[in-house]
Structure 1
Amino acid sequence: MKGAALGLEIHARGTRFRVHSPDAEQLWLCLFDGDGRETRLPMARDGEGVWSIDAPGVGQGAHYGFRADGPFDPGAGLWFDPDKLLLDPYATEIDRAFGYDSALAARRGQGGDTGPLTPKGVVRASLPPVSAAPPLFRPGGLIYEVQVRGFTMLHPDIPEAQRGTIAALGHPAVIDHLRRLHVSAVELMPVNAWIDERHLAPLGLRNAWGYNPVSYFALDPRLAPGGMAELRGAVQALHEAGIGVILDMVYNHDGESDVLGPTLSLRGLDARSYFRHESDGRLINDTGTGNSIDCNHPVGRRLILDSLCHFVSEAGVDGFRFDLAPALGRLPMGFDPQAPLLEAMRADPLLADRILIAEPWDIGPGGYRLGEFGAGWLEWNDRYRDDMRRFWRRDRGVIGALATRLAGSSDIFGHAPATRTVNFLAAHDGFTLADLTAYAHKHNEANGEQNRDGHGENFSWNNGVEGPADDPAVNDARRRDIKALLGTLFCSRGTIMLTAGDEFGRSQRGNNNAYAQDNVIGWIDWAVRDREIEAYAFALASLRASQPDLNDTGWLSQEDVEWLDERGHPLTVAQWEEADRRCLAMRFRQSGLTIYINGDDHPRTFGAVTVPARTVLPIPAE
């Protein structure tokens, strides 16, 4: 798709608005005054299906939306309904957060005017572009995954008015904590405007994570009441501390859901272009959310590229993590790492040097694509997560997998010149690190779905008691296991990721899918953090930062490291095949740094070094 930029352009006489809707028969720009009164102005269509209008006297701060009329035939991908006020897909600010109401999903002629229910776009001039600079983050560092609201809601040092917002990330107390962890970049879970799933309100719940976007440009006002300037200020504060910022972006679907979902923006303007459909007109659902964005249709591709460039230019972010990333490369014949969108991202001058991280799976056909995103990409490595959990859970026959993951997962990424792995043990969508050692089974009852939601196989364990324990010995065992897990993570080759709060033992009460827990279950309680675990994490972070062997991404081969048994001898083939082997040492040949790993339930001696039970002990050479 070619032509002038979509969205709005402020000029000396007013504002020009442009929106893509090739199948509409009429579009209106809807302007709202301070009392909510609406004025509708008919728009004109060009030959490419773009509607536009020049609105004299309309400037900064004006509130607006669109209405579209045309055929209403959902089975054919046509959802035109002038009763539905539609958010401009290119709106960079909205006047309030989205809230679900059944009228938003009513069929044409049945629900009435949604103008009072739908947030309005706000006319806002772009900020001056951020000066171009290479990303601060480099592969091999530590990514710190943050859900902004839950991270700061209970932080005692942050002013109450700032808690739960992006601005809080620039607070000195937050930056000091990140520095002590040697965080290379924070990865912010979605900050774009989102809407709750329709089943949550009757349960008294609301979406806490934001993986149900309505806008790909506008920030959610609950997280950024100061708009783009607030994000820009937080990025600047973090950059001044040497910390990069990565945004988690959700381009695989939008919050309009399935055929029973609300009409808010893309659906009401151009569902045929923006969404993938079966040959019979049904929505494709490769995301589990009801719809799938057609990321490689020219209009969808343009929307995504424009929004990515928007956040680089206006906020100076260092990169992006992509939720269900195979959606970005889905073509009619399946996933292609050379799909037009992926190629365009590599070629764009604003995006070419940005950090790109794939969650390399979705639920569509052939959706598991770990190791296939190619040059320039980092990838979440769930094989690392599962193999490390299995080792510390005492599963048999996993010593070889442990070594492979420590060394960078060459079995997955070995075709590349360096490992592209993002090693992680826990993420937002699963157990916290502490709950991994305290719950053998998920406990998602608070989500109102009879514990049916969330992953069933977590490779977790409970040290003899499910959930909170009064026995000091059980709690000591759990603390030891958390420290062992952290030890393997910080001593692994390649980029590592830690979810906020896991460095001091936060719990979600066994909930491994806390997306709807915008409450004390999902919020980090800084007052009860485990100071012993936290101190251990800080020490590991300092060690990793001081040892080039640990924060490099080059492959570890037999020329780089040797794998030793308790006598200090290289492990034999027979020893690698021992199903019950739970001990080894990894010694870097050049530096002499040695990582001792004892997964047994009793101390083991490696030459002159005694390693306590279930412990990772890194010892630099003297």
Structure 2
Amino acid sequence: MTSRQLTGQPHPLGATPDEDGTNFAVHSDIADRISVCLFDDEGTETAHWLQQRTGSIHHGYLVGVSPGTRYGLRVEGPWDPAAGLRCNPAKLLVDPYAGAIEGEVDWDPAVFGFRPEHPDAIDWVDSAPFVPRSVVVDHDFDWGDDAPPRTRWSDTVIYETHVKSLTKLHPGVPERLRGTYLGLASDPVLEHLTGLGVSAVELMPVLHFVHDRALVARGRRNLWGYQPIGWFAPHAGYAADNGDGPVVQFKQMVRRLHAAGLEVILDVVYNHTAESHQLGPHLSLRGIDNPAYYRLDVHDKRRYLDLTGTGNTINTDHPATIRAIADSMRHWVTRFHVDGFRLDLATTLGRRQEVFDRTAPLFQVINQDPVLSSVKIIAEPWDVGPGGYQLGGFPAGWSEWNDRYRDTVRDFWRGVTRTVPDLATRLTASADIFLSGGRRGPAASINYVTSHDGFTLTDLVRYDHKHNDENGEDGSDGSTNNRSWNTGVEGPTDDPAIQALRRRRRRSMLATLLVSQGVPMILGGDELGRTQHGNNNPYAHHDERSWYHWDGADADFLEFARTIVELRGANPVLHRRTWLTGLPGGPGSEDVTWFAADGMPMTLADWADVGTVAIGMLLNGDALRPLDLDQTPLDAASFLVLANGAPTAVEMAVPSGVGEAKWTVAVDTTGDAPAEARAFGPGEVITLEPFAMMVLSRTGASS
């Protein structure tokens, strides 16, 4: 495939087509020469050396190269692993800015840049037959009247899910679309999501990823997708076979989700790549500019710093890497209309010379960028390096996965003592973590009880221990810190009492999540009663452990989930935009008040008492501030939340001195049936069954 070359432009990076050809631009500080290698339909390769260089950008315009053209990069330059330099022109590389990627890695020895018997020696075997191709993409697309929902953080309810797992077994989704972008955006799935009442889907990684060599050797394939190789390309494996390809289908998915009022948040992995450690494959960044893109061990530059647990760590001290990440994020917002990002192992991205800094260059770039500063940013606030746990340490305007919330709620609902004080803090958006300096609001806390990492909600009440033997790692993978309780028997049981208590505990944990201040995140499938059979790390299970079983859905629990999500959305006191203070603005006007089982306000002795296993929380609708409302309602509902984290029933008195109006039961997690609309007046006693929660509402003035 021959083409005449013109000078072209150094920007934008990647392949940019127009009506006459395609501009190619690649960054490398160390390359002597970069060639774009075009492949025709028969696989014949034609190399074109990019003859122009502007600074560190190698570029050229190839006349006649059109969208759909497959290509790769070959980089000539120094090979000196001891100095961290790994250029090898025998290895065909994926363009880091490729808009689409076609094909998979065939784990032949040729994909490695070194000779197996001598890792410092270059390997000259051509890798082209065994690696993916980059594809030139035309991003023209008819978005029609698409507009981002722009849901306020305070109104957001996130649904974390996986493109394939969500629809693989859905009987209402056409079989050809199951497990695809279009399947996720099909009518039955949209009806489920909107019926549940969530406002955003958070998709596990959809940037193009690789199936790990070790997994393939065991006959498995990566499901979760945390091994990226292309930050600009939607994963090709989630495209239906209809001729449109992953780019168009991804855009169609977003357009349909937006039309249904749902935001799209992407779980993005910018902290490492699939190239692994110094004995990993030569697929992209390693061969283009190894020391620019990766953090190397200063004592032995053959080796990579591993702050991510994956073998390598992206170097966010280097301007080219910062630019690539920011360009990628901007690409997904402007080209694909996504509404936000969850940054995997975000501590890694904020390290300066290995030390975390909330004012790190990448964070500053994101916050000042007019595109990126307007979308939702969620940090996973840890990595595996020194000082990696940084919950509460991210910039104002960002939100963070709050694992302290997860752990406390799990502990309370399995009967761990001394949990009540911490539970009160978590219910009110973890001000001890996020309020510092007054720069952040309750939405900084992404509250969750379950996520893709760990047990599902059903397994949380069914298993004491992980059951990961079938992962092929001798059960060593997955966390041992599950904070679960099997409710008396490990695994499934026919015992009706245990089954009933398990269902109650599930309802109580979900209800807790939805009445907490902050932003709730529901793990997709929990509303259906999904189980992974005790596997808390099924990252490579393309099977029934990972699929959502729609035919076997727990209809009662699904209806309960819809009810509690709707209750939250309809009542601003349950999702305030401002912090609760507990301070009075007048008699009986505290925005939150805490009560002991006797109906009296909690004392210091009550908070300190190891025997305190139940608590009452009154959220006062009359104390809502103008900032919490679009318009001031005549009668904002107040809520009394009663929670019993003990294995025995507790008598709880309805508080006196906070008005004479009766409280009506809105939610009762005790039984499977919907709550009866019973009313209780001040001083009346309610028997709260073991591990049960009751939410009561009252409309009108408190006095």
User: What TM-score results when the alignment is normalised by the length of structure 1?
Assistant: 0.96
Q: Indicate the residue corresponding to 1:237 in structure 2.
A: 256
Please say if 1:161 is aligned against 2:182: no
The answer to which of 135-144 and 275-284 deviates more is: 135-144
Letter in 1 for 2:692: T
Q: Indicate the residue corresponding to 1:486 in structure 2.
A: 510
Q: Indicate the residue corresponding to 2:273 in structure 1.
A: 254
Post-superposition offset of 1:483: 0.8
Q: Is contact 1:136–1:243 with CA below 8 Å preserved after alignment?
A: no
Please say if 1:580 is aligned against 2:587: no
Question: Secondary structure in 2 aligned to 1:394?
Answer: coil
Q: Is contact 1:274–1:294 with CA below 8 Å preserved after alignment?
A: yes
Q: Indicate the residue corresponding to 1:183 in structure 2.
A: 198
Letter in 1 for 2:649: P
Question: Secondary structure in 2 aligned to 1:228?
Answer: helix
2:477 to 419, 444, 453: 453
2:690 to 593, 613, 621: 613
The answer to which of 120-129 and 538-547 deviates more is: 120-129
Post-superposition offset of 1:161: 0.6
Please say if 1:299 is aligned against 2:376: no
Q: Is contact 2:148–2:263 with CA below 8 Å preserved after alignment?
A: no
Post-superposition offset of 1:145: 0.3
Question: Secondary structure in 1 aligned to 2:488?
Answer: coil
Letter in 2 for 1:201: V
- Relative to structure 1, the CA distance from residue 349 to residue 481 in structure 2 (aligned partners, 3 Å threshold; closer, same or farther) is same
Please say if 1:319 is aligned against 2:340: yes
Q: Indicate the residue corresponding to 2:580 in structure 1.
A: 556
Please say if 1:571 is aligned against 2:602: yes
Counterparts of 2:470 and 2:488 in 1: how far apart (Å)?
A: 24
Cα deviations across residues 84-103 of structure 1 (Å, max 9, x unaligned)?
11011111012234454443
Post-superposition offset of 1:48: 1.4
2:648 to 592, 602, 605: 602
The answer to which of 561-570 and 242-251 deviates more is: 561-570
Where do 4+ consecutive residues of structure 1 move more than 6 Å?
Answer: 129-132
Question: Secondary structure in 1 aligned to 2:114?
Answer: coil
Post-superposition offset of 1:82: 1.8
Counterparts of 2:321 and 2:131 in 1: how far apart (Å)?
A: 22
Counterparts of 2:93 and 2:509 in 1: how far apart (Å)?
A: 48
Cα deviations across residues 319-366 of structure 1 (Å, max 9, x unaligned)?
100000012211016111111111111111111110000000001111
Q: Indicate the residue corresponding to 2:138 in structure 1.
A: 125
Q: Is contact 1:22–1:270 with CA below 8 Å preserved after alignment?
A: yes
Once the two structures are superposed, the pairs formed by residues 275-286 of structure 1 within 5 Å of their partners are: 275-280=294-299, 281=301, 282-286=303-307
How many matched pairs?
Answer: 621
The answer to which of 287-296 and 94-103 deviates more is: 94-103
Q: Is contact 1:482–1:505 with CA below 8 Å preserved after alignment?
A: no
2:372 to 322, 339, 351: 351
Once the two structures are superposed, the pairs formed by residues 1-16 of structure 1 within 5 Å of their partners are: 4-16=11-23
Counterparts of 1:497 and 1:12 in 2: how far apart (Å)?
A: 45
Counterparts of 1:156 and 1:68 in 2: how far apart (Å)?
A: 48
Say which structure, 1 or 2, has more relative contact order (CA 8 Å, 6+ apart): 1
Counterparts of 1:3 and 1:326 in 2: how far apart (Å)?
A: 31
Please say if 1:138 is aligned against 2:169: no
Q: Indicate the residue corresponding to 2:671 in structure 1.
A: none
Gapped regions of structure 2 (runs ≥ 5): 1-8, 116-121, 583-589, 623-636, 654-683
Q: Is contact 2:10–2:57 with CA below 8 Å preserved after alignment?
A: no
Post-superposition offset of 1:304: 0.7
Post-superposition offset of 1:111: 6.8
Post-superposition offset of 1:191: 0.3
1:509 to 526, 533, 540: 533
- Relative to structure 1, the CA distance from residue 340 to residue 166 in structure 2 (aligned partners, 3 Å threshold; closer, same or farther) is same
User: What TM-score results when the alignment is normalised by the length of structure 2?
Assistant: 0.86
Question: Secondary structure in 2 aligned to 1:526?
Answer: coil
| Structure with max Cα Rg | 2
Post-superposition offset of 1:489: 0.6
Question: Secondary structure in 2 aligned to 1:528?
Answer: coil
1:437 to 461, 464, 475: 461
Q: Indicate the residue corresponding to 2:84 in structure 1.
A: 77
Letter in 2 for 1:430: G
Gapped regions of structure 1 (runs ≥ 5): none
Q: Indicate the residue corresponding to 1:68 in structure 2.
A: 75
Counterparts of 1:612 and 1:52 in 2: how far apart (Å)?
A: 70
Counterparts of 1:82 and 1:343 in 2: how far apart (Å)?
A: 36
Letter in 2 for 1:563: W
Counterparts of 1:598 and 1:181 in 2: how far apart (Å)?
A: 26
Letter in 1 for 2:441: A
Cα deviations across residues 182-203 of structure 1 (Å, max 9, x unaligned)?
1111001100111122211122
Q: Is contact 1:503–1:534 with CA below 8 Å preserved after alignment?
A: yes
RMSD: 1.8
Please say if 1:112 is aligned against 2:112: no
Post-superposition offset of 1:227: 2.0
Question: Secondary structure in 2 aligned to 1:199?
Answer: helix
